[in-house]
Structure 1
Amino acid sequence: MEFRTDRLFIRPFRSTDLQDVFDIYKDDDTCRYLLHDRWTFEDRQEKFNKKVKNSSLSKETMLSLAVVHETKVIGDLSVWYTDMKDTVEIGYSFSSEISGRGYATEAVGNLVKKLFDEFHVHRIQAQLDARNTSSQKLCERIGMRKEAHFIKNYWNKEEWTDSIIYGMLLSDLKES
């Protein structure tokens, strides 16, 4: 899957994207609410290779996409099928350098449209750390609704954390 938006090119990762992706994931603030720690110089190639391998979405494989602005990768989108029929979960990370410019909203909003239109999914959901207010706002901007808030249900990075589930159906998709 690859597509263009007004300002972005969204495509599978390429081997030449390693440094841009490392720049995203070496940042402690970017990784604060993710399930993994920041990338190190020593493990970056191994972790990046997994993203390159995730080049198509199927019931068995996750899709990882680079969000490119001009010539630089500024974000990472992930999509995978859940155990529920025709339901996918999305995840995303963006460079802290581009915060506040609407790129994440543009990329994720267009991704959900593609998932409904081309993959004919029934439902899209996102599960996030409840402290990640930026991610909550992004979900709401693209038309997702908050469906659940679980209290201290997830053990991550040596602490119990709350998680929030956002979801949407095609009928929830906001007109742009």
Structure 2
Amino acid sequence: MEFTTERLMIRPFKNTDLQDVFAIYNNEDTCKFLLHNQWTHENMEEKFNKKLANGLLSQESMLSLAVVYKNKVIGDLSVWYTDMKDTVEIGYSFSNEVAGKGLATEAVSSLVVQLFDVFNVHRLQAKLDARNIASQKLCERIGMRKEAHFTQDFWNKNEWTDSIVYGMLASDLKK
């Protein structure tokens, strides 16, 4: 899967993307609300190779896509099928250096359109740490609705955290 938006190229990861992706995931602020810790020089190749291997969305495999802006990878989009029929979950991370430019909104909203139009998914959802206000705002900007707030339901990084679930149907797309 590869597509472009007004300012972005969204494509599978390439070997040459390692340093750009490391810059995203080596940042403590970026990883604060993610399920994994920040990448280190010792584990970056192992973690990046998993992204390289995720080039196809199927019931058995996750899709990982690079978001490229001005020839640099500034974001990572992930999609995987849930156990529910025709339902996918999305995840995303972006470089702090592009915050406030609308690039994350542009990338995620275009991914959502692709998922509904090309993959004919019935529903998509995003589960996030309730403290991640920027991610909540992104979900709302692209037309997702907040469907649930779970209190201290997830044990992550040695603490109980709240989770929020956003959902969307094709009929929710902003025209």
Do these two structures clear the TM 0.5 threshold for a shared fold by scoring above it? yes
Give the corresponding residue for 1:24. Answer: 24
Give the corresponding residue for 2:169. Answer: 169
Q: Which amino acid aligns with 1:69?
A: Y
Please report the TM-score for the alignment, with normalisation by the length of structure 1.
0.99
CA RMSD of aligned residues (A): 0.3
1:144 and 2:124 aligned: no
State the distance in 2 between where 1:153 and 1:100 align: 30
C-alpha displacement at 1:36, in angstroms? Answer: 0.2
Q: Which amino acid aligns with 2:78?
A: S
Matches within 5 A, 1:25-64: 25-64=25-64
- SS of residue in 1 equivalent to 2:154: strand
1:78 and 2:78 aligned: yes
- SS of residue in 1 equivalent to 2:64: strand
C-alpha displacement at 1:80, in angstroms? Answer: 0.1
Structure 2 stretches of 5 or more lacking a match?
Answer: none
C-alpha displacement at 1:4, in angstroms? Answer: 0.1
State the distance in 1 between where 2:83 and 2:24 align: 30
* Per-residue deviation, residues 67-126 of structure 1 (Å, max 9, x unmatched): 000110000000000000000000000000000000000000000000000000000000
State the distance in 2 between where 1:24 and 1:136 align: 19
State the distance in 2 between where 1:56 and 1:37 align: 25
Please report the TM-score for the alignment, with normalisation by the length of structure 2.
1.00
Give the % identical residues.
72
Q: Which amino acid aligns with 1:86?
A: D
C-alpha displacement at 1:3, in angstroms? Answer: 0.1
State the distance in 2 between where 1:166 and 1:2 align: 25
4+ long deviations beyond 6 Å: none
The number of equivalent residue pairs is 175
- SS of residue in 2 equivalent to 1:59: coil
C-alpha displacement at 1:157, in angstroms? Answer: 0.2
Q: Which amino acid aligns with 1:131?
A: R
- SS of residue in 1 equivalent to 2:105: helix
State the distance in 2 between where 1:10 and 1:122 align: 22
